[in-house]
Amino acid sequence: METKGFEHHDHHHCIATSLRTVEEACKAQGLQFTPVRRRVLEILLDEHRAMGAYDVLDVLRKEGLGSQPPVAYRALDFLVANGFAHRIERLNAFVACTAPGERHAPCFLICRACSAVAETPGRRASDALRSAAGELGFKVERVAIEAEGLCPACVEAGA
């Protein structure tokens, strides 16, 4: 897995690849990749930014794909539950996963200036946490690791 979000990249390609990967994963696991679910993933993929459920809903509304909160939340829940998107607790928002399919402990770098979000491998941090928790007898099931700060571009721009 590679970190994405801050550096430039062929974004059309990156979107297409993710969509295809998710499509295949759904087929393989017998999951229904319905139009709403697919469209919500596309909306998230469009930007490497976290979007609130209501931001997503606004887009769906314009396109006649749904107009009430549960529509957006259900699609987002599906994507998150299956590892195709992640929820950023700090922002009450969602991002498309940059490595759908791969088992990974994601870790997010959130720029407070431009709101960019990068997903980066959190293996080391997550392992450190698991071992600390294990010593206490705590059984870790899920880990959320989120850093807030300045992305490279904003560090440079800022000062």
Partner DNA sequence: GGATCGCATGTTATGATATAACGTTCGCGG
Partner DNA sequence: CCGCGAACGTTATATCATAACATGCGATCC
Binding region for DNA (CB under 7 A):
31-32, 34-37, 52-54, 65-71, 73-75, 77-78, 92-93
Using CB under 8 A as the binding rule, whether residue 98 contacts its own copies is answered as no
Nearest approach, Cβ of residue 71 and DNA (Å): 5
Nearest approach, Cβ of residue 141 and DNA (Å): 17
Distance CA 133, CA 106 (A): 18
Distance CA 36, CA 75 (A): 7
8-state DSSP, 90: G
The answer to whether residues 96 and 56 touch, using CB atoms and an 8 Å cutoff, is no
Binding mask 58-97 for its own copies (x = CB under 8 A): -------------------------------xx-------
Which one of 18-26, 30-38, 96-104, 148-156 is the stretch in contact with its own copies (CB under 8 A)? 148-156
Nearest approach, Cβ of residue 89 and DNA (Å): 8
58, with CB counted inside 10 A (0-12, 13-18, 19+), is middle
Using CB under 8 A as the binding rule, whether residue 144 contacts its own copies is answered as yes
Using CB under 8 A as the binding rule, whether residue 148 contacts its own copies is answered as yes
- The one of its own copies, DNA, Zn ion, none whose footprint includes residue 31, by CB under 5 to 8 A per kind, is DNA
156, with CB counted inside 10 A (0-12, 13-18, 19+), is exposed
- Give 92's contacts (C-beta < 8 A, 6+ positions apart): 52
